[in-house]
Amino acid sequence: MATKRNAKRTKRDKVTDHNVTNGNVTNDKLRALEGFRESGADEMLTTNQGTRINDNQNSLKAGARGPSLLEDFILREKITHFDHERIPERVVHARGVAAHGYFRVYEPLSRLTKAKFLQDPGAKTPVFVRFSTVAGSRGSSDLARDVRGFAVKFYTEEGNFDLVGNNMPVFFIQDAVKFPDLIHAVKPEPRHEMPQAASAHDTFWDFISLMPESMHMIMWVMSDRAIPRSLRMMEGFGVHTFRFVDDRGASRFVKFHWKPLLGVHSVLWDEAQKISGKDPDFHRRDLWEAIEGGAYPEWELGLQVIEEADEHAFDFDLLDPTKIVPEELVPVQRVGRLTLDRNPDNFFAETEQVAFHPGHIVPGIDFTDDPLLQGRLFSYTDTQLIRLGGPNFHEIPINRPVAPVHNNQRDGHMRQAINTSRASYEPNTIAGGCPFQAGAQMGGFVSYPERIADAKARRRGEKFFDHFSQATLFWKSQSETEQDHIVQALRFELGKLETTAIRERMVGMLANVDRGLAEQVAAGLGLPAIPNVEPPLNRSIPADGNPKDFEPRRSKSTPALERSAALSMANTVKDTAKTRKVAILAADGVDTAAIDAMKKALAAAGAMAKVVAPRGGTLSGTRGIKVPVDFSLLTVGSVLFDAVFVPGGTESVKALTADARAVLFVNEAYKHCKALAATGEGIAMVPNHTGADRGRAKGGTLEEGIVAGGDGDIARVAAELVKALARHRAWSREAKGQLVPA
Ligand code: HDE
């Protein structure tokens, strides 16, 4: 009976499953999860004990108006379960979103590592990837200025490998012992829990202004990388240096990268703040919709490999997580591809309960002595014990490896396995010695026998104290636009502070990165000049330490590099309009032929078009054709789109020019340097141009990213719009954008 019911349920689930149309129940992990899925379709309501429920509307009472009876086991069970629905949110990275997918290597990597999942180009390794912000709570906005987590769980045949990285390649601190300080400083202030999901407050900058080692990371976090356009359009980094070990036992250092095929793109800070109001789930929705629509996000896995003999060849320390290995010094080899092709079925069961750990590794991969990584190796199991409530969190479906698990660990909260052996110890004879140790040839994990011979000490490597060279390298590698955004971000963040002394200390710190940068920030803060603050500012020294030993310094050798092109988003891939969203702004009387032609052209380029109108429902377009409205101006803003198209149609354009919301819609798109297109009368909506200008524009491009044409020019206008979408933004317009009221 039970089997019959399950068979029926599975069949039904397959029909209702939102993703099965994509045919993605084929990988080992998804197959393993099948047994845990439950939909209730065609089933009767039951208690958790399987007793069918007859009345889910009324609790059991003594009479119709009488007191409720304690005996009501249905009521008690339902409410008790409800009372316990929440678990503690992650202390950091609480706000996240995840997806299933797979990884495939391009060619066998046996020259570098023996890890099996990196050997067979024909094999797909299942993955579950969770993206997150760091500081905000579970319900905070996606568009906070913050680092993004990029955590990948590979379910390999040799066990789970978790690459728990971020979208920035460095970190704020060099040693795990400072992590609680950093997080306490950035989290909302303890008096009043403000501000939410934001670093723009006194405690964060107080801490940072005393921590020169943070300056490189501060450059990244103040750059637009901290406000991605999409989780699908950001890089990922393992941050620490890891090791690869080959089958002869030889080790090499490795840095992991994820390179998005859609390029690295961001929004503007003004946009980010507005998106946070219009759609705080912007990134979450974007990922969900892309996967549901079959536009599977993809990244290439990149490796920087450094021979063991070159460990000390650089003017930075490979063990220092505040340093990158510039791609110009060690190129990134692209070795495989990650594809996300299925959304989770249940947010809590999968996205919330997934437990990552940088210590989940497989033979062929090993750690280095990076002191931040070493501390993380402790932290991640510890945090799951409180968050998921006990030592058996590895048995939660999403966390189970596809590799078999056998050991003598037993019991504990919520144990799922029914261990049948009499022996729960090793060595034993009673169970024939099982389960037994695996030799290295059988895939047993053997730690890389790194030589260690030094005195115990609470110290850091000599090169760790160069806190500014790479911050300067990052700054110098940015385009003019990017530099300007960093200055604006610092003015915003420091402008929010209540304590002037912190502001001054920060400007002093910035002067160590670049004097011009510090001067610009100081001017925006109304500080007359760079304040006279004594460097070094590092108070983070041991009680009996000699400040001289902790002095920040620049590397003695001339920096090997003045600029690194890979650090600037200006140099990213800009060759596709795929998955970009275009708003078609319309009202009654709109030129329906233009809408149709534009929609077709955008669809052919893999972009999406949505009709936005003053009201919902259906518009009555030219030739009496009905145009369904996707969004009313009440529910969206142009900040939720990549571009705006205003078709002609006398009545339509008349209504739009008289509607302040429509004018703001286009003005904001202009201000945010987005692609704009207009045909016929629609050209009147293009901001910042006089009538004469607009007239001239009929023939083509009005200014960068703005294309206009007559009613008959729609094919050309659409083609130009697709090109402008691929370029992401027209930054040359940014200064003029300040002139429009938006
Ligand atoms: Fe984490 N970090 N972290 N972290 N981290 C957590 O683990 C921690 C660090 C990162 O989507 C926690 O399960 C310490 C660097 C990601 O579930 C916790 C230190 C990097 C995620 C924790 C660091 C990361 C976490 C909170 C300094 C980039 C989200 C909940 C020694 C390489 C994973 C949890 C997910 C989550 C501790 C520093 C990335 C408390 C102690 C550096 C992507 O264990």
pLDDT digits (tens, 9 = 90+) for 255-278: 999 999 999 999 999 999 999 999
Residue 529, pLDDT score: 84
pLDDT tens by residue, 522-542: 999 999 888 777 655 556 788
Dihedral (C-alpha) 427, 429, 431, 432: value to the nearest 10 degrees? 100
* Alpha carbon distance 352, 373 (integer Å): 23
CA angle 269, 271, 277 (to 5 degrees): 110
Q: Cβ(33) to ligand 1 under 6 A?
A: no
| Pocket residue to mutate for ligand 1, from 87, 89, 90, most atoms within 8 A of Cβ | 90
Q: Which residue has the tokens 């030589």?
A: 451
92 lines ligand 1 (CB under 6 A): yes
| Predicted pLDDT of residue 513 | 95
Distance 259 CA to ligand 1 centre (A): 21
Pairing outcome for strands 626-628 and 618-620: antiparallel
Active site residues: 93, 166
| pLDDT recorded at residue 309 | 97
CA Rg value for the chain: 29
Ligand 1 atom at minimal distance to the Cα of residue 175? 31
Residue 92 CA, ligand 1 centroid: distance in Å: 7
Which numbered atom of ligand 1 lies nearest the CA of 149? 43
**660-671 and 650-657 are packed helices; what angle lies between their axes, rounded to 10 degrees?**
80
Determine the distance separating the centroid of ligand 1 and the alpha carbon of 184, expressed in angstroms: 14
Tell me if 116 sits within 8 A of 72, measured CB to CB: no
Q: In whole angstroms, what is the distance from residue 630 CA to residue 636 CA?
A: 10
**CA 397 – CA 387 distance, rounded (Å):** 16
For residue 255 and ligand 1, the question of a CB distance below 6 A is answered with: no
Q: What separation in angstroms does the CA of 54 have from each of 26, 66, 122?
A: 38, 20, 53
Q: Which three-class secondary structure state does DSSP give residue 281? A: coil
Pairing mode of beta strands 631-632, 608-613:
parallel
| 597-612 pLDDT, tens digit each | 999 999 999 999 999 9
Q: Which amino acid is at 728?
A: H
Report which ligand 1 atom has the smallest distance to the Cα of 239.
Answer: 32
Q: Please tell me the distance between residue 371's alpha carbon and the centre of ligand 1 in angstroms.
A: 14
Q: Which of 164, 187, 385 to mutate to test the pocket of ligand 1 (most atoms within 8 A of CB)?
A: 164
The alpha carbon of 323 and the centre of ligand 1 are apart by a number of angstroms equal to 18
The pLDDT value recorded for residue 19 is 41
Q: Please give, one letter per residue, the 3-state secondary structure of 566-612.
A: HHCHHHCCCCCCCCCEEEEECCCCCCHHHHHHHHHHHHHCCCEEEEE
The whole-angstrom separation of Cα 372 and Cα 178 is: 9
Q: Kindly write down the DSSP assignment for every residue of 57-97, as one continuous string.
A: S---BSSTTSPBPTT-HHHHHHHHHHHT---PPPSSS-SEE
In the DSSP assignment, the letter for residue 532 is -
Backbone dihedral angles phi then psi of residue 132, each to the nearest 5 degrees: -160, 160
Measured distance CA(89)–CA(105) in Å, rounded: 34
Rounded CA separation 475/7 (Å)? 60
**What pLDDT is attached to residue 541?**
83
Q: CB-based contacts of 640: which residues, under 8 Å, 6+ apart? A: 275, 278, 279, 282, 581, 583
Pocket test for ligand 1, best of 284, 376, 383, 388 (most atoms within 8 A of CB): 376
Report the alpha-carbon distance of residue 588 to residue 609 in Å, rounded.
Answer: 18
Distances (CA, A) of 395 to 8, 39, 416, 489: 26, 21, 7, 44
Q: Is 609 in the pocket of ligand 1 (CB under 6 A)?
A: no
* Closest ligand 1 atom to 383 CA: 44
Q: Is 372 in the pocket of ligand 1 (CB under 6 A)?
A: yes
Ligand 1 near 296 CB (within 6 A): no
List all residues 6 or more positions away from 535 whose beta carbon is below 8 Å from its beta carbon. Answer: 212, 508, 509, 512, 552
| Order of strands, sheet of 608-613, starting from the edge strand that comes earlier in the sequence | 631-632, 608-613, 581-585, 643-646, 675-679, 706-709, 701-703
Element (H, E) at 522: helix 515-525
Task: Tell how far the Cα of 540 is from the centroid of ligand 1, in angstroms.
Answer: 22
Strands 365-366 and 298-307, bridge-based pairing: unpaired
Residue 421 vs residues 409, 413, 436: alpha-carbon distances, Å: 12, 20, 13
Looking at residue 370, its amino acid is D
Across the chain, mean pLDDT equals 93
CA end-to-end distance (rounded Å), the chain: 65
- CB of 176 closer than 6 angstroms to any ligand 1 atom: yes
SS3 706: strand
Q: Is 282 helix (H, G, I), strand (E, B) or coil?
A: helix
Q: Give residue for tokens 């339509």.
A: 652
Whether the CB of 169 sits within 6 Å of ligand 1: no
- Is residue 730 within 8 A of residue 672, CB to CB? The reply is no
Q: What is the pLDDT of residue 23?
A: 47
pTM of the model: 0.95
> Residue 550: what pLDDT?
85
- 89 C-alpha to center of ligand 1: Å? 13
At 353 the pLDDT is: 98
Which residues, given as ranges, of the chain have pLDDT below 50?
1-23
Is the distance from the beta carbon of residue 383 to the nearest atom of ligand 1 less than 6 Å? yes
pLDDT in tens, 355-367: 999 999 999 999 9
* Cα angle for residues 480, 553, 475 (degrees, 5° grid): 10
**CA-wise closest residue to 96 among 34, 164, 160, 155:** 164
Report CA(284)–ligand 1 centroid distance (Å): 20
